[in-house]
Chains A and B, each alone.
Chain A
Amino acid sequence: MDSIQEKLVKRSKSTNRDLMGKGISLSALVLIVLIVLSIFVFVTSRGLATFFHDGISVKDFLFGTTWNPSVTNPKTDHPYIGALPMILGSFLVTFLSALLATPFAIGTALFMTEIAKKRGAKIMQPVIELLVGIPSVVYGFIGLTIVVPVIRHIFGGSGFGILAGTIVLFVMILPTITSMTVDTLKSVPGHYRESALAIGATRWQMIYKVILRAATPGILTAIVFGMARAFGEALAVQMVIGNAALMPHNLISASSTLTSVLTMGIGNTVMGSLQNDVLWTLALILLIMSLVFNLIVRAIGRKGEMK
């Protein structure tokens, strides 16, 4: 009798395990939230120091076109801290590489899911997974030894610039967009295809009018993810873009991105100085942009659910 009572009143072994599991996952969650929050607070506080501590106006920072933080502008008595060249550079390489990669990604994904399923799964899937896994410094190195000299040979100049950055990023984000598009296309229900074929559509009509339509939100999400990767990429871009904080006036002149200026400058500045603060402000812009990319993905997911 007692043993039954004990069994009913006391916690069983599995309940304890259950609680322990709950505790572990909760503490993991709390830890991650804490890390994310502290990164946010740190970058924000250092990044805003430019405006509050060093007294630089947000407008000058975002829309100024001259970047040379170690030189003081005699007219305004502030250093040259116009970040527009880098902001433009970042957006240009991001949009251009996404523009270039999207058609190739959709084409490859269609081939893998609709046209040659078996070969696609056998050959293309491992290739794409391999491409995702290559470290960015390798892409940058290939860009430096092949892409830059080729551009120099064809167009003259030094070869460094937005075009070289775009080409390297194109190769880097292609597998990201492709593999996500493949997943989306696979999730289009089979009866969509069967219905389309049953009413006499050709394969091309089925792909173009039914499958791509149904998969549009997913493909858009894939593109945004690719853009987020391109926007945040630092090393490979820094190696081929030329790192001149000048307004980009063509695709083959040396330019810079937010990330390339950050990686070039952070080791040469002293914490707490204005030259260092402005770099943190660039980091803050990067952080905000990745937040924006996330929000876009969510908005697409909410609006475009397959019905």
Chain B
Amino acid sequence: MGVFINVQGGGTGTGLSQVAQGAVDLGNSDVFAEEKEGIDANKLVDHQVAVVGITPILNRKNGVTNLTTAQLSDIFTGKITNWSQVGGNNLDIVLINRAAGSGTRATFEKWGLDGAKSREAQEQDSSGMVRSIVSTTPGAISYVAFGYVDDSVVAPKFNQVAPTDKNVMTGQYPIWSYEHVYTKGKPNSKTQKFLDYLSSSHVQNTLVKKLGYISIHDMQIHRDVDGKITNK
């Protein structure tokens, strides 16, 4: 008999709270456990297995190809309400958010909006849905992981840096997060085996890339929970 692995879906809170309760061996999260309210991070051990880049996406009619941090946070906090205010066409801005508390949103607010919290707006909980709404609604802006960007939407440069895997690896493009696997305490031997498998170069070069993530081995920098960047 081999080892069976049961996989269960759920939002960002689910993985962390389940592993903290000891209900599961491995709890996945795209934010640091320290960043999630109600989780005792001291008991959890972090294993970073991949990196995901997140980019704003715009409707093609908005006419904007670059956004600065200040512009982006003014857009999401409601200080800017028309694309003409940031050099685009005369179109009202339509915000589309991810669910409050989701990791994508937390990462985007932390690194894309410089910590500002978005104002209340329409929320969608799947990336595919977000992209299809943005592509069909003039004036719309939202954000998705790199893997979801296609020709139907525009992924603008952020502070003149293009949202590419390469720019994430070198640390020039800041809106990204680690994909964490948390264990409660030190993993047991079976769990450790699975973790080794996840970070093996085979998985990192095939599955991870196929799903639109960035291999943890390709990162030239390391960023800790406080955002401090060190060269690897």
Contacts and interface: CB of A to CB of B under 8 A. Distances in A.
B120 A265 contact: no
Q: Which of B14, B102, B123, B140 has the most CB of A within 10 A?
A: B123
A242 interface: yes
Contacts of B101: 70, 265, 268-269, 275
B151 to A, nearest CB: 20
B38 A276 contact: yes
A292 interface: no
Interface stretch (A20-28, A162-170, A243-251): A243-251
B17 interface: yes
Nearest to B20: A270
Interface in A71-88: 71
B117 A270 contact: no
A232 interface: no
Interface stretch (B5-13, B44-52, B210-218): B5-13
B11 A244 contact: no
B133 interface: yes
A12 interface: no
Contacts of A267: 10-14, 99
Contacts of B125: 243, 264
A268 B12 contact: yes
A304 interface: no
B122 A70 contact: no
Interface residues of B, number: 28
Interface string B81-121: 00000000000001010011110000000000000010011
A270 B120 contact: no
Interface string A250-269: 00001010000000111111
Interface residues of A, number: 32
Interface in B44-69: none
Given A244-B121, A254-B122, A271-B38, A158 B133 contact: yes
Interface stretch (A61-69, A129-137, A295-303): A61-69
A272 interface: yes
A149 interface: yes
A265 B140 contact: no
A79 to B, nearest CB: 10
Contact of B120 (A152, A157, A245, A264): A245
B122 A243 contact: yes
B124 interface: yes
